[in-house]
Amino acid sequence: MATEGIDRRKFTRYQLPSMYSRIMVRPLDSDEFLWEGHAYDISRGGIRFELDRGIEPGEQVALRIDLPQTASERSTARRSVFVFANVIWMSDPDEIGPVRLAAAFSRFAREGDEEQLQARLSQGRYALAA
């Protein structure tokens, strides 16, 4: 049975301005965020991003996601959302340039982060991702 063209995602995915959507990543056995990159798109359930190094699918990581803010949000909203996630996809790490990755969120790290993310995504500022 062909599933081509069927979107199996549970949550709507939104495009992010990549150079303005910083992401910090740390393995769970580290207390510090070791790698910095940029997010391409995000949903309530996951994120697609790039780093200068690969992370094998199946590895669990902690993410700090810095969403772009409007002037009014700078004084009222937290900038960063923290999540735990499972890496589910990695582009060919031997390609030239950054490695593209995708991760599924397993849980939000702080109370209110899920609601903050959902509120920011539902404002209509971000285009729907393909």
> Is residue 42 domain-resident?
yes
Kindly state whether residue 106 falls inside one of the protein's structural domains: yes
Q: Per the domain annotation, does 6 fall within a domain?
A: no
**Domain-embedded: residue 96:** yes
CATH number at residue 109: 2.40.10.220
Distance CA 116, CA 14 (A): 15
The pLDDT tens digits of the residues spanning 94-115 come to 888 899 999 999 999 999 999 9
Query: Under a CB-based contact definition with an 8 Å cutoff, are residues 83 and 63 in contact?
Result: yes
Residue 8 is assigned to a structural domain of this protein: no
Q: Are strands 60-66 and 80-90 parallel, antiparallel or unpaired?
A: antiparallel
Full domain range(s) for residue 104:
16-121
* Residue 6 binned pLDDT confidence (cut-offs 50, 70, 90): low
Whether residue 4 lies inside any domain: the answer is no
49 part of a folded domain: yes
